[in-house]
Amino acid sequence: MKIRPINGFIRSVAVFIAGRISGISLCPFGIYTDFPDDPVIVNHEKIHWRQQVEMLVIPFYLWYITEYLIKRLTRNKGDAYRAISFEREAYTRQDAMDYLQTRKPYSWTRYISGPSA
């Protein structure tokens, strides 16, 4: 995985879904961020990278978009984005720099339902 700066096209697509962004993982192309030296942002995106790999990429994107659209029925854009199970896992664990060494496969499924779901 390569860490690269966010380009205009990627930013436009991401802003449409989530609003302002500081990073995005697009497996297999790399991690794109405005802050490549920020370990929390990079760790957040590496968690997404792992999620994408374990779901074989295309199913990850289909699930992500479907979950977003369902949540968007009852939430604004930002809240729907933050309530996606993949995002909930990444935001909850982004400060734990050793998380990927101990993370079990499909850990994001624990975040499908719950208080913020």
Q: How far apart are CA 64 and CA 72, in angstroms?
A: 12
116 domain residue, yes or no: no
DSSP code of 7? Answer: P
Residue 100 lies in a domain: yes
- Whole-model pTM? 0.93
Give the count of beta carbons closer than 10 Å to the beta carbon of residue 29. Answer: 11
Into how many domains does the chain fold?
A: 1
Residue ranges, the chain, pLDDT below 70: none
pLDDT at 11: 87
CA dihedral 96, 34, 3, 71 (to 10 degrees): 60
Question: pLDDT value at position 64?
Answer: 96
Residue 10: the pLDDT is 87
What 3-state DSSP class applies to 70? helix
Give the domain extent around 73. Answer: 3-111
* Sheet of 23-26, strands arranged across: 3-4, 30-33, 23-26
Look up residue 85 and give its two tokens: 């199970």
Using the structure block, give the residue that is written with the tokens 């809240």: 79
